[in-house]
Amino acid sequence: MTVHEPTQPHRLSRTEARRIAVRAQLLLKQRPTDLLDLVRHLTMLQLDPTAAIAPNADLVAWSRLGSSYDPGDLVAALEKRQLIELAAMLRPAGDLALYRADMAAWPGSGELRDWQVSRREWVRANDACRRDIIDRLGASGPLTSRELPDTCAVPWSSTGWTNNKNVIKLLDIMVARGEVAIAGRRGRERLWDLASRVYPGDPVVPSAEAARIRDERRLRSLGVARARTAESPTEAWDVGEAGEPAVVEGVNGTWRVDPVYLDEPLSSRAFPGRAALLSPFDRLVHDRRRTLELFDFDYQLEMYKPAAKRRWGYYALPILYGDRLVGKLDATADRKTGLLRVHAIHQDVPFTKTITAAVRREIEDLARWLRMDSVLPLSG
């Protein structure tokens, strides 16, 4: 089927672009109610070990579902294999069919980059170890990496934490090859098993079609995005040729917009926005350039900075109000005392009484969800 694009790009004000983005991320007054439907729409929940307030996947779900969200539901969805972990993301099990063709073509098709050739040669040099892992998992899996002996002939060389972490690195590559999969967790340790015992047996979607579908679903979850942007080591930020072309007032370059959102009212009276506290890894703010261009919001995650150089705090949460990102919440969940300690509320724009009340209601809701009492600053 031939898809004909509009003869002229859609022209969006920055307000309209922001409202499309907020609506696409399900951050309106009318909250979603089902965890699995939420993840299907967002396409994934990113995993991150930092839990200054709560693990990222739980915090993203709470931001949408509210305090009715039970983290146990996420655990149950993983145990039932309704969600599956792949590349540090929790994805709907049915979406694995969109990645299997690329797995089968690992390390890639066409002319390979130097790093792809290097990884291919390293795997070839350690083929006996790879086969041993497959045999052991086949006989006794799921197993942790500690339960798999390191029989690699050639060590993995890196300037980072993976240096000589041969089994861990080989397992990660075997996931990329579609041979093994993460079958669950034992505490914080991943459990590994044969992919054939973890992934659904759905028909594999050919690579080009799968890439198109992933782009379309990513744009549906973002609303408006760049066709091409900086590469991400975890999950793509751009959307290729999905949707339709658009230009955003005051922002250079061409964007892509999902036309489903152009049928929604975007006027100030009709927009049903609300206050929300967002994870630093939330997809509304994950692309810092897009966040600056559309929301005029300067933000960085500062937990890797020395304390004296932080502007907003170790794990500051972006604060959404309506279609604007209006500040940052510097807070910590003190599990020993059962307190949600709010160190500061940084205002990017002066808060009105209405904004202040709405933000504080969200803080109280966060505390209830965490089963903690909140300790607010006297002013912020």
Task: Indicate if the pLDDT at residue 123 is higher than 60.
Answer: yes
Q: Helix H segments across the chain?
A: 14-24, 35-42, 56-65, 71-79, 100-104, 114-125, 127-140, 166-176, 195-198, 207-222, 288-295, 353-370
pLDDT of 4: 56
Task: Indicate if the pLDDT at residue 7 is higher than 90.
Answer: no
Q: 350 in helix, strand or coil?
A: coil
Task: Indicate if the pLDDT at residue 337 is higher than 90.
Answer: yes
pLDDT of 6: 66
pLDDT of 269: 78
Average of per-residue pLDDT across 22-32: 97
**Predicted model pTM:** 0.92
In a domain, 80, yes or no: no
In a domain, 193, yes or no: yes
pLDDT of 232: 75
In a domain, 142, yes or no: yes
In a domain, 146, yes or no: yes
Task: Indicate if the pLDDT at residue 379 is higher than 60.
Answer: no
Task: Indicate if the pLDDT at residue 206 is higher than 50.
Answer: yes
Average of per-residue pLDDT across 172-190: 95
In a domain, 152, yes or no: yes
Give me 289's structure tokens. Answer: 């350039």
Tens digit of each residue's pLDDT (9 = 90 or more) over 71-117: 999 999 999 999 999 999 999 999 999 999 999 999 998 899 999 99
Dist CA 26 CA 83 (whole Å): 19
In a domain, 173, yes or no: yes
pLDDT of 5: 67
Q: Are 334 and 341 in contact (CB under 8 A)?
A: yes
Average of per-residue pLDDT across 358-378: 91
pLDDT of 2: 47
Average of per-residue pLDDT across 307-321: 96
CA dihedral 185, 371, 60, 189 (to 10 degrees): -10
Task: Indicate if the pLDDT at residue 262 is higher than 70.
Answer: yes
Question: Residue 141 maps to which CATH number?
Answer: 1.10.10.10
Give me 67's structure tokens. Answer: 């305090």
Q: How confident is the model at residue 1 (pLDDT cuts 50, 70, 90)?
A: very low
In a domain, 133, yes or no: yes
For 76-135, give the DSSP string. Answer: HHHHTTSEEEETTEEEEGGGGGGTHHHHHTTT-SSSPPHHHHHHHHHHHHTHHHHHHHHH
pLDDT of 380: 44
Find, among 207, 212, 181, 186, the residue nearest to 93 by Cα.
181
**How much of the chain exceeds pLDDT 70, in percent?**
96
Task: Indicate if the pLDDT at residue 183 is higher than 80.
Answer: yes
Task: Indicate if the pLDDT at residue 333 is higher than 80.
Answer: yes
In a domain, 138, yes or no: yes
pLDDT of 374: 85
Give me 201's structure tokens. Answer: 């047996």
How many domains is the chain built from? Answer: 1
Q: Could you tell me the residue range of the domain that residue 104 belongs to?
A: 97-197
Angle between helix 114-125 and helix 127-140 axes, rounded to 10 deg: 70
